[in-house]
A and B are shown apart, each in its own frame.
Chain A
């Protein structure tokens, strides 16, 4: 790892100022992706700005939204009685990210800002029609994800929280793990909520998370695993690698969607 100066600001304003002071400054949330990236010398930041001291962790439930602070750990989301009650599929997703040790450090804001094409959280945020709240503005999930490792975030913009609209009538996530990394080879989040019926797929797309609209239409007409059983996804825009071809991932999308629909009840 290349060396850098470490900063731990205690306000969002200070963090933004530090990140804006240097084009090579980088934000650190839970570090469960960023630190491995640094260890492989794939990134050479001048400053690392730790967001852990900003007071952005926490979960709050109001009548029409579940709001999760950006530095809330995956384990906290998985274990939250409020999340389990309001959006059980989201709690289950958080409880299946990586392993216990990753879940004790990794954060929802870090996962979303990184937008790894195989990360779990983007599928839930897109399927549930959530809003990403930053120090500057509110960004709809539909506008936030802009391709592999790419988001609508601008330089000096920090996610402060994520707001999930309520009520959510149905929600579930089914993931086929890449067994070594425990990232999603294919993950499908199905939801029926304020944004209607949505099916979001992670792990498979060359451009990151995407909606499977044919399945959404079928589920709107009839919510059952059988409704999507015959719906295929084109392999043209999917990833293929040594762990699975694009055609294999296309097949898994239907399998995982059926499992998620069954789990959502």
Chain B
């Protein structure tokens, strides 16, 4: 059986996989990182979003073998060892940006990537469009958008530029 070596949340793993094994299956079933969820299984809902080499991707739409040598970050890799939450997680809690929580890991991973890649700031519309690949069936999105906007100043450690508000 082929093997894949990848680094997940800073820890290197070598795992035996089949050609058809998906990245999300390695994370959940081989490494026990069940924070990454499988929702639609048709590449539409975004519950399985993780970061691969710094980009948010749907881990249900990537073969494990395509991640050879990759740096992967999952929801479990965000909080500090002492339990301090990532600012995006903290703002999701603060703004009540989740109800059932099923979409939340993917939503948080997509949101962090979106904010990190927009140091010029984000409008509310840009946040909504940026989360296009993540479906939530509970919240109606409003509080998710608020949480992402609130996390922007914390992640960039400055106020959101006025033009972007």
In the bound assembly, the distance between CA atoms of A31 and B63 in angstroms comes to 9
A100, B56: Cβ atoms under 8 Å? yes
Interface 1/0s, chain B 4-42, versus A by CB < 8 A?
000000000000001110100000000000000000011
Give chain A nearest CB distance to B53 CB in angstroms: 9
Tally of B interface residues using CB under 8 Å: 29
Alpha-carbon distance A38/B22, docked complex (angstroms): 11
**Complex CA distance for A104 and B117, rounded to whole angstroms:** 12
Q: How large is the interface on A (under 10, 10 to 19, 20 to 34, 35 or more residues)?
A: 20 to 34
Give the Cβ gap from B75 to chain A, nearest Cβ, in Å.
15
Chain A, range 157-176, C-beta contacts under 8 Å to B:
none
Binds A, one of B43-51, B92-100, B148-156: B43-51
Cβ-defined contact, B19 with A75, below 8 A: no
Pick from B2, B20, B68 the residue with the most CB of A within 10 Å. B20
Given contacts A4-B20, A31-B61, A31-B62, whether A102 and B43 have CB atoms under 8 Å apart is yes
Say yes or no: A181 contacts B57, CB within 8 Å.
no
Q: Is the CB of B61 within 8 A of A104?
A: no
A4, A48, A99 — which one has the most chain B CB atoms within 10 A of its CB? A99
User: Which of A31, A39, A98, A101 has its CB near the most chain B CB atoms (within 10 A)?
Assistant: A101
Which residue of chain A has its CB nearest to the CB of B48? A101
Check if A101 sits within 8 Å of B20, measured CB to CB. Answer: no
Query: Are A6 and B63 touching (Cβ within 8 A)?
Result: yes
Whether B19 contacts A3 by the Cβ 8 Å rule is: yes
CB-based nearest B residue for A34: B61
For B113, list chain A residues within 8 Å (CB): 100
Query: Which B residues fall within an 8 A CB radius of A?
Result: 2, 18-20, 22, 41-44, 46, 49, 52, 55-58, 61-63, 65-66, 68, 110, 113-114, 130, 132-134
30 contacts between A and B (CB under 8 A): A3-B18, A5-B19, A8-B68, A28-B66, A31-B61, A35-B22, A35-B43, A35-B61, A39-B42, A48-B63, A50-B63, A50-B65, A75-B55, A99-B132, A100-B56, A100-B114, A100-B130, A100-B132, A101-B46, A101-B57, A101-B61, A101-B110, A101-B133, A102-B58, A102-B133, A104-B55, A105-B57, A105-B58, A180-B44, A181-B44
What are the nearest 8 A-B pairs in CB distance? A99-B133, A104-B55, A6-B19, A1-B20, A99-B132, A6-B65, A4-B19, A101-B133
